[in-house]
Chains A and B, each alone.
Chain A
Amino acid sequence: GAGVSQSPRYKVAKRGQDVALRCDPISGHVSLFWYQQALGQGPEFLTYFQNEAQLDKSGLPSDRFFAERPEGSVSTLKIQRTQQEDSAVYLCASSLEPGLAGTYEQYFGPGTRLTVT
């Protein structure tokens, strides 16, 4: 089956604009994660969903960042009033529920490269 997909792949926004980034996880994957990856750095955790419940949002950098997964599959990461420091690749990953798979292996999407000018 298909892997994790993300759209758009590239987004250029002017400072102050709002953006919405979409993630389609692997069908049947209960857990969904958002990461931010700056150039030359490792992915940094933003938030985590189990089904539609947002269990951890400790990594969201500010209240301008908001994520939702209303029906427990597709997720959207929204950034309001974008700033230059928001420029990064935003990665989405999904995984099977740990209790079923016994593993926390995460499958990553290709990412959305956001550039704020």
Chain B
Amino acid sequence: GQQVMQIPQYQHVQEGEDFTTYCNSSTTLSNIQWYKQRPGGHPVFLIQLVKSGEVKKQKRLTFQFGEAKKNSSLHITATQTTDVGTYFCAGLPGNTGKLIFGQGTTLQVKP
């Protein structure tokens, strides 16, 4: 079946260091979304990428969608303690709205 793999599973960084999480799909995606889930919370939408090779920025966060629309990355520059949480990519293989989530990358930031 369709799978979305995400690495690494965990990442511990010192505050101010950069962080990157990678997402790979077994099939071509119509779009990819990124969500953040704080401990004890629910997923909150961050961004959606639709076009091949698309790059979007939100302050210190940079999101990329691969040329083949099968992979994506999220890069955080100069992490802060408020960045702590689990970041999920979620691929949309078709037009039904059915999202396939990756396993998530849990980010810990040491002050």
Would B104 and A42 count as touching, CB distance under 8 A?
Answer: yes
B residues 81-101 touching A (CB-CB < 8 Å) = 88, 90, 92, 95-101
> A104-B31, A105-B45 are contacts. A41–B96 as well, Cβ < 8 Å?
no
User: Is B43 touching A43 in the complex (CB atoms < 8 A)?
Assistant: yes
CB distance from A34 to the nearest CB of B (A): 11
A98-B45 contact in complex given A42-B102, A105-B33, C-beta closer than 8 Å? no
Q: Counting CB contacts under 8 A, is B48 at the interface?
A: yes
List which A96-117 residues lie within 8 A (CB) of chain B.
98, 103-111
Q: How many residue pairs, one in A and one in B, have C-beta atoms under 8 Å apart?
A: 60
Indicate if the CB atoms of B42 and A105 lie closer than 8 Å: no
- A31 located at the interface, meaning its Cβ lies under 8 Å from any Cβ of chain B in the complex: yes
Bound CA–CA A57/B35 (angstroms):
23
Q: Interface size bucket, B side?
A: 20 to 34
- What total of chain A residues lie within 8 Å of the partner, measured CB to CB? 25
Q: Which of A5-51 contact B (CB under 8 A)?
A: 31, 33, 35, 41-45, 48
Specify the chain A residue showing the minimal Cβ separation from B47: A105
Measured CB to CB, the nearest residue on chain A to B30 is: A104
In the complex, which residues of chain A have a beta carbon less than 8 angstroms from the beta carbon of B31?
Answer: 104
Contact call A42/B103, Cβ cutoff below 8 A: yes
